[in-house]
Structure 1
Amino acid sequence: LSVRMAGQAQLSSHTSISISKIFDTMEYGPALEDESVVQAWLDDHDRKFGHFINNSWVYPDDRKTYETKDPCRGTVLASTIQGTQEDVNNAVIAAKEAFKSWNSLSGHARARYLYSIARHVQKHSRLLAVLESLDNGKTIRETRDCDVPLVARHLYYHAGWAQLMNSQMIGWKSIGVVGAIVPWNFPLMLLAWKVCPALAMGNTVVLKPATNTRLSALLFAEICAEAGLPAGVFNVITGGGAMGSMLATHPDVDKVGFTGSTEVGQILRKATAGTGKKISLELGGKSPIIVFDSADLDSAVEGVVDAIWFNQGQVCSAGSRLLVQEPVFDRFIEKVKQRMKTLRLGSSLDKTMDMGAIIDETQQKFIAEYVDDAQKGGAEVFQVDAPSGCYYPPTLITGVGTTSRTVVEEIFGPVLIAMPFRTAKEAISLANNTIYGLGASVFTEQMTLAIETAKMIKAGAVWINCHNMFDAAAGFGGYKQSGFGRDGGKEGLFEYVKPSWQSRLSFEAPEFDLKKFGASYMADRPSLNTATPQIVSADGILPQVDRTYKLYYGGAQKRPDANYCRVISDAKGKAFALVGESNR
């Protein structure tokens, strides 16, 4: 008893010291997200991942491996395979074979599969969010509240379009095999932007994730198999940059969807020229933020934070050029500096952090070189403190010319360049003075001024009094060297179809089996559905959509916060019902 009491006293002493320090500084204490579910999933695979082809893990012999790391801690998460041309061939063969049956399904049938995947994504939302934070370095706040919900939104949205294809897209048909190549800044979200419309329109997909961030794509593929997606419809192969070129130039790939740097996009366009392949490119950007003197300055400051320091500035549409009207320039810049001092950098799993780590040391050095170059050129650089490791502090640069490298070239980091302007005409001229045209934003309380200015900016997306707002129903893409083609919206569907006047087969759904619904204990880590049909015919099998039963409170039916269900069994242990599982 005396030992226990002494231990409790010691614990109490340590706790009081920790609490007193928090009261001294009035800073947030750490609030780390539990990562055990991700570590368990990695252990399930012995931390070794192959390709995911035909709903199965494939581990070819004599392949080099690549270790994926947590950018925040520098620790190895797992090893993955560096694929070869043979692996690309095998994945494309699987997708081409699956296309025969997948394309023959009605839009309603494909919608059922997409709805099923959406429900499983929601069921595994925590696993996906934590894995994405560990693999990419972005904060759990962003993956939990932005990335994963937007993935589910795209699945639901495109499931609706799959059902409407026959009536709303008359004269169009599926392309065939889609080769999708996605970058490391939004590995999961950009995957959904490519995969959802492709599957909805009856295509099959071979996905090549970025070298640095492969794990969430592999998990998503496993979740698709668990949800009942037929074998070969969605395949993931891993490898370096050369493998992306192998996929894009493969003779049996009919469509290439690429998101990444402008330089690589130009190479891919040249490589596919004359091959008859359809291609869409979403490339780099140097997006302007225009702040008029009629703007709500405090709200505009928050808009700037979302524009440039979201995901550590590693966003193609990041608002990296701040254009402020002269009468309020000094006052607004001071407000931005004060807000920068409150931004918190640290562990990606800490729910109180505003910014996480840069993807790797190479990108960190790349960003630093631009800032050093601006400083040597006489620019004023304002930065806040950053932790040691693969972090880069929020940076504000003023006093640069319009031809400076930092103004003209994409830095892809948390670096904001601010310049004054006098008139709306000058602001538009400065905004359009770039080789890019991906995004822009306008801040003012005069809506006529905002709309007229937005119409004159040559960018694919122009936001008013906000920045980086995305939705599955709104097409997103660029002009000039920011690429061409659209992701999302009805316009995004046309990237994955070609002209046709062929009728489609109808489909009749089987009875629903309540026993196969997901229960709460199944929701942590996905399990492969061994009953998945290898070939789906017009009278074949549809997946059992994993539904969440709702609760009733506040005068409305609502899903449980955790999206889980609980099995209700009879006296003999036989499951006869499911109810929504509530929490505090």
Structure 2
Amino acid sequence: IARHVQKHQRLITVMESLDNGKPVRESRDADVPTVVRHFYHHAGWAQLMDTEMAGWKPVGVIGAIVPWNFPLMLLTWKVGPALAMGNTVVLKPATYTRLTALLFAEICAEAGLPPGVFNVVTGDGRFGSKLATHPSVDKVAFTGSTQVGQILRRATAGSGKKISLELGGKSPFIVFESADLDSAVEGVVDAIWFNQGQVCSAGSRLLVQETVAQKMVDKLKERMRHLRVGDSLDKCIDMGAIVDPTQRKTIDEYVQGAKAEGAEVFQAHDCFPTKGCFYPPTLITNVQTSSTVVVEEIFGPVLTVLPFRTAKEAIAIGNNTIYGLAASVWTENVSLALEVAFNLKAGAVWINGHNMFDAAAGFGGYRQSGYGRDGGKEGLYEYVMPTWMEKPKPENVDVNYKTFGATLPTPPSNATVEQNTIEIDGVKMPCIDRTYKLYYGGGQKRPDGQYSRPVLSPAGEVISVVADGNRKDIRNAVEVAHAAAPGWGKRAAHNRAQIVYYMAENLELRRDEFATKLQRMTGRTMKDALEEVDLSIQRLFHWGAYADKYGGSVQETTLYGATVRVHEPVGVIAIACPDESPLLSFISLFAPAVIRGNCVVIIPSDKYPLAALDFYQSTCTPSK
């Protein structure tokens, strides 16, 4: 396929620019070479799958949905790894830009791809939802807006489908006084005016150190006066047309709104076409961190400028967004660049560069920029599943709302006591109630609503009483988790491992006690309960060993310089545990999250919560 794309490079280049409106120079020098590079790269992974991806198998049918800003390149990011791992693909291109997808289908047939392996279906946005929710689609790969990504996530929830989302962004472009300002200016051109700013990772927030802010702005204005806007097929053009009038209108509404809020707007109108769907390069200053044009993704050639004083302030402003797709840091000070890069909450951070993509380097975001990766070995895992795994077949479970959350009556004063229990209407209860509390912020907490519920054994015996939390308890736990996340994420990996080993040692000391509690809660044999405790101890040691062995790697790419892949913490993770194997499932979900520097807010098994509640009492101290 890569060779056939090269063969038809001129036709593809022209068609991509006609379809999208981007300058033909960008299609020729950026899009098509990236497409070819991805197919060659993933052809290599196809060759090495049996050895490098041993233990993994194809997912099945991939439903790929791509946007209009990079019709062919983003198609390739989905199709390349999917085909390399042995999947079949049904592609839905954007409504505006279907031509190169259909041309690519012809290229696949010409290259000898078997019929049915790659398929293209066209339609509007609702058509994409139909594809994503089709029961025979095993995985959804989507690139597009955050709003549509949220719709697809809700539509596929509970279906058992894999899904990866590469969504919007509001990426910071941070310039320090130690940067080469002339290079930074050219970097801004590539960051925000590349493809008319219609790029998910566009550096649309320019953060400049106060001491050089005015000088940087003056240089930018001068450079903007020399940007050429016009016919996309003119090789001398820097910016082409916006994809359609609706998008152009949206961009202009954001700019006019900024003027109404008191911002200063500079637009370069030199040599600007009077006809067509064009929009001039735009620079907006005198804005606040809460300004609409600073907060929301505009998806156009609009750049906002914010000053900062210190590196700490730059990091705070850079992370002050709901997105987390990309960022770039500009300085000649290497230690400063690395320190800031590691603290920016973005999926990709470039140093002295922006919008630099390579097939060997994974790309994707987190927060509301989505999850999953395109490119690199990490991108392959989006299109495979373990060989032992069967395709999930979710079953809808009906909840009996008449008995859901039911409580038991208070025992009367004349109840008889036998063997430390009392019996009321055939239900045995402990004569001394033990109420397990919530645990967050390093201590046990009473539930905000002061409610509790009993935990019953299979025989109907009340084993204990547990706290029943509400929204305020969740809010409190999330707040303390966020407060602890920066320190825990930066703690030495060896220290995190020692803490998890300590948990395993304490669990071993109380092995029989935990097994007895499991046997009493679940009704399983003592042998099974002891085996679950032993597996939980083993699992803690396993993940403790991984604490300092998954930090990342340096990847070889075609880019100038080194690409560093860092497995940084996600942050605060919400976990809900199943009823099956209540202790082992709790440990298996909790341990890998914390050893990699995350903080967790976890809900134990609803039916058998005591194993997790005993675990925090026996293994956790306020410092942990």
Which TM bucket (shorter chain)?
Answer: 0.5 to 0.7
Aligned amino acid, residue 497 of structure 1: V
Kept in 2, the 8 Å contact 1:181–1:207? The answer is yes
- 1:239-289 deviation per Cα after TM superposition (whole angstroms, max 9, x unaligned): 000100000000000000000000000000000000000000000000000
Give 3-state SS (helix, strand or coil) of 1:366's partner. helix
Determine which of 268, 272, 280 is the counterpart of 1:393: 280
Could you tell me which of 24, 35, 42 is aligned with 1:140? 24
Q: SS of 1:319's equivalent?
A: coil
Structure 2 Cα separation of the partners of residues 403 and 470 of structure 1:
30
Q: Which amino acid aligns with 2:287?
A: V
Structure-to-structure mapping, 1:287-306, within 5 angstroms = 287-306=171-190
Cα separation, 1, equivalents of 2:150 and 2:250? 21
The counterpart of 1:375, out of the listed 245, 256, 259, is: 259
RCO (CA 8 Å, sep 6+): is it higher in 1 or 2?
1
- 1:257 aligned to 2:144? no
Q: Does 1:332 align with 2:216?
A: yes
Q: Are 2:82 and 1:210 equivalent residues in the alignment?
A: no
CA-CA distance at 1:151 after TM superposition: 0.6
Aligned counterpart for 1:427 among listed residues 293, 305, 314: 314
How many Å separate the matches in 1 of 2:287 and 2:215? 18
Counterpart pick for 1:362 among 220, 225, 246: 246
Q: 1:465 aligns with which of 343, 352, 358?
A: 352
- Write the letter of the residue equivalent to 2:142: F
Question: Out of 197, 200, 205, which is 1:313 matched to?
Answer: 197
Query: Structure 1 segments of 4 or more deviating over 4 A?
Result: none
Cα distance in structure 1, aligned partners of 2:388 and 2:7: 39
How far did 1:501 drift?
5.5
Partner of 1:444: 331
Q: Which amino acid aligns with 1:498?
A: M
Task: Judge conservation of contact 1:289–1:322 (CA < 8 Å) in 2.
Answer: yes
Amino acid at match of 1:342: H
Q: What code does the residue aligned with 1:344 have? A: R
Tell me the residue number matched to 2:481.
Answer: none
Name the structure 1 match of 2:77.
193
SS of 2:109's partner is helix
SS at match of 1:355: coil
Cα distance in 1 between the residues matched to 2:210 and 2:2: 48
Q: Determine whether 1:322 maps to 2:206.
A: yes
Q: Please list, as runs of the form range in 1=range in 2, the aligned pairs for 1:101-250 lying within 5 A after superposition.
A: 117-250=1-134
Look up the equivalent residue of 2:273 and give its one-letter code: P
Q: Give distance in 1, aligned partners of 2:262 and 2:388.
A: 63
Looking at structure 2, the residues matched to 371 and 427 of structure 1 have their Cα atoms a distance apart, in angstroms, of: 24
Q: Distance in 2 between matches of 1:322 and 1:118?
A: 37
What CA distance in whole angstroms lies between the structure 1 residues aligned with 2:343 and 2:23? 35
Instruction: Give the match's secondary structure for 2:339.
Output: helix
| Alignment match, 2:567 | none
Q: Give the AA of the match of 1:393.
A: P
- The structure whose Rg is larger is 2
Q: Give percent identity, aligned residues only.
A: 76
State whether residues 170 and 501 of structure 1, in contact with CA within 8 Å, keep that contact through their aligned partners in structure 2: no
* Count of residues paired in the alignment: 386
Q: SS state of the match for residue 374, structure 1?
A: helix
Q: Distance in 2 between matches of 1:208 and 1:157?
A: 23
**Equivalents in 1 of 2:33, 2:8: separation in Å?**
11
The CA deviation at 1:387 is 1.2
The answer to whether the 8 Å contact 1:475/1:491 transfers is yes
Per the TM alignment, residue 170 of structure 1 is displaced from its structure 2 partner at its CA by 1.1
Deviation track 1:208-256 (CA, whole Å, cap 9, x = no partner) reads: 0000000000000000001110000000000000100000000000000
How many angstroms apart in 1 are the aligned matches of 2:336 and 2:369? 26
Measured in 2, the distance between the counterparts of 1:384 and 1:292 equals: 25
The residue identity in structure 2 corresponding to 1:225 is: A
Q: What is residue 418 of structure 1 aligned with on the other side?
A: 305
Amino acid corresponding to residue 337 of structure 1 in structure 2:
K
CA drift of 1:341 comes to 0.3
Aligned to 1:77: none
Matched ranges for 1:486-501 at <5 A: 486-500=373-387
SS at match of 1:230: coil
Question: Aligned partners of 2:313 and 2:168: how far apart in 1?
Answer: 24
Q: Which amino acid in structure 1 is aligned with residue 257 of structure 2?
A: D
Query: Secondary structure, in 3 states, of the residue corresponding to 1:492?
Result: helix
SS in 1 for 2:97: coil
For residues 356 and 205 of structure 1, the distance between their equivalents in structure 2, rounded to whole angstroms, comes to: 31
Work out whether 1:483 is the aligned partner of 2:376.
no
Counterparts of 2:201 and 2:363, CA distance in 1: 10
Q: What TM-score comes out, normalization by structure 2 length?
A: 0.62
Equivalent residue, structure 2, for 1:53: none
Cα distance in 1 between the residues matched to 2:129 and 2:260: 38
**Over residues 542-571 of structure 1, what are the superposed CA-to-partner deviations in whole Å (9 max), with x where a residue is unaligned?**
xxxxxxxxxxxxxxxxxxxxxxxxxxxxxx
| Contiguous gaps of at least 5 residues in structure 2 | 390-624
One-letter code aligned to 1:434: T
Q: Of 422, 441, 456, which residue of structure 1 is paired with 2:343?
A: 456
Residue matched to 1:83: none
Alpha-carbon distance, 1:177 to partner: 0.3
Match status 1:474 vs 2:361: yes
Structure 2 SS opposite 1:348:
coil
Q: Distance in 1 between matches of 2:317 and 2:302?
A: 18
Residue number in structure 1 paired with 2:533: none
1:70-112, CA deviations, whole angstroms, 9 ceiling, x for partnerless residues? xxxxxxxxxxxxxxxxxxxxxxxxxxxxxxxxxxxxxxxxxxx
Structure-2 separation of matches of 1:290 and 1:265 = 28
The offset of 1:121, in angstroms, is 0.3
SS in 2 for 1:416: strand
Q: How many Å separate the matches in 2 of 1:424 and 1:434?
A: 17
